[in-house]
Homo-oligomer: A and B are copies of this chain.
């Protein structure tokens, strides 16, 4: 199987697959013409990687998860630790974004959005005037 078919089977663009090989996540065979040859197991790994990436795991986490996936003697606690850490980061990011969203939606709703220059959004971004003691 060449790179394009492998990509279609795994739902990943060829560029991404080449990148995954470059960083050592997969090691497809090579034909005499230099073309990469993907076995079922490679496509399987690519599918794994695609799903892990879709859940937001970094490439390094994917590397760890993949090695645990292939280690049949792993402890599930190791997997859980990685996922929990990642989950915490996602939750943290959501909290940040929700704070931004709250501020912005308030400002947007307060802005007339007409031809006049008065604008609470800019008013909020502007630094406060010097406050003498």
Contacts and interface: CB of A to CB of B under 8 A. Distances in A.
This chain: copies in complex: 2
A33 interface: no
A113 to B, nearest CB: 4
Contacts of A81: 113
B75 A117 contact: yes
Contacts of A119: 68, 74, 76, 79-80
Contact of A111 (B83, B105, B108, B122): B83
Nearest to A101: B90
Nearest to A45: B127
Nearest to A97: B94
A69 interface: yes
Interface string A70-110: 01111111011101101100110110011011011101100
Q: What 6 pairs between A and B have smallest CB-CB spacing?
A: A47-B127, A80-B113, A76-B119, A80-B111, A77-B113, A87-B104
